[in-house]
Amino acid sequence: MKIIKNIPELLAHNLIEASEIAQIEAVAHEHSIAITPEIMNSIKVFDNSDPIFAQYVPQKEELETSQYEFFDPIADVAHSPLNGLVHRYKSRALLKLTNACPAYCRFCFRREMVGRENAKILSDLEIDAIIQYLKEHKEINEVIFSGGDSLAIGHLRLGKIAKAIGQIANVKILRIHSRVPIIMPQIIDNELVSALKEANLPIFMVLHINHYNEFTQNVKNAINILKQNGITLLSQSVLLRGVNDDAQILADTFNALLENGIKPYYLHHPDLARGTGHFQLNPIEGMEIFSQLRTLISGLGLPKYVLDIPGGFGKVELNNENLRQKPDGHFEIKDVNFNWHQYPNIRL
């Protein structure tokens, strides 16, 4: 089976109905589609009730947008001094080595920036400019590979970039955020790990996993390769309506992570990307679920429940100190500098 990328292939694999073609074509015109064989193997029910199906198969609800949804919800662009580089936090910088992914999540906060004509790998000149920036900004001690998905750019290219990063005196840590071990685990091998080790730095990999059904045997094999090569594994999950907005599902997911040697790190409140309203919860709903989760799982399995404040004001943990509801039903959220920002109640 090959990667499913278009409407005829969706139809042929019974992922959409013939009656939905016009609407899904409109969705595909705006946002890229890609579903890998591993994702197909994880789907148990071929409709939106399945937590894997819902994450990857385009849905007509993506055509619905509101005034509260944004092209760039966490303001990557405003914090990008160079193409492919985001410098939002003082001590760390994020590199978007590519704007392509092997599969496209329907809730992605960078869905306007990945896929299609944007699908490319940074050039040598762009990488050289980023390396120079990192050398000049000596306050940066951690580099994060994100994207798109950096693990899909090819071993030789990845190794070359990792080596260049490792030669910057002020950079002490390499962090990689990736979905590849989950959606295309067969490319996780010793050759890929060797490419990453060209950095000669401690490597932390944050795997994006939202539901325990994503742990296929192939995924477990990929995770074992990473562990056996000394890479520290953490996870990030997104709290999604209809996918994992249930304390017991989250508990089972985080326990599965621990059983596979992965420390739950972040539970993200979903970002306000265009066309993702059907995945959204309001912060009060999320905090109630997280409170229930605390009674079901040990502290070792409990991630930080965070929200990325729209406009580029950074992540904050969602709790009663940082969140308050206004008389009109909407919210205010306090950033790390103690400033309050408006946040919509999308369930009104």
Q: Which of 310, 211, 323 is nearest to 270 (CA)?
A: 310
- Identified catalytic residue from 88, 197, 241, 274: 88
Q: Find the DSSP H helices in the chain.
A: 7-12, 21-30, 37-42, 51-56, 124-136, 155-166, 180-183, 190-196, 217-228, 247-259, 283-294
**Does the annotation count 308 as an active-site position?**
yes
Question: What are the structure tokens assigned to 25, written together?
Answer: 């074509």
Q: Give the integer Cα–Cα distance in Å for 59 and 276.
A: 10
- Identified catalytic residue from 5, 89, 163, 263: 89
- Identified catalytic residue from 111, 197, 241, 315: 315
- Identified catalytic residue from 101, 106, 266, 305: 101
**Does the annotation count 315 as an active-site position?**
yes
CA distances from 32 to 69, 113, 201 (A): 18, 10, 34
**Does the annotation count 108 as an active-site position?**
yes
- Identified catalytic residue from 5, 92, 220, 263: 92
**Does the annotation count 92 as an active-site position?**
yes
- Identified catalytic residue from 106, 110, 111, 274: 110
**Does the annotation count 305 as an active-site position?**
no
**Does the annotation count 104 as an active-site position?**
no
- Identified catalytic residue from 108, 197, 212, 266: 108
**Does the annotation count 271 as an active-site position?**
yes
- Identified catalytic residue from 105, 179, 212, 241: 105
Q: Give me the DSSP letters along 126-164.
A: HHHHHHHHHHH-TT--EEEEESS-GGGS-HHHHHHHHHH
- Identified catalytic residue from 50, 72, 76, 308: 308
Sign of CA dihedral 162, 166, 167, 170: positive
Q: Give the integer Cα–Cα distance in Å for 196 and 193.
A: 5
**Does the annotation count 110 as an active-site position?**
yes
- Identified catalytic residue from 271, 274, 305, 343: 271
Residues with a catalytic annotation lie at: 88-89, 92, 101, 105, 108, 110, 271, 308, 315
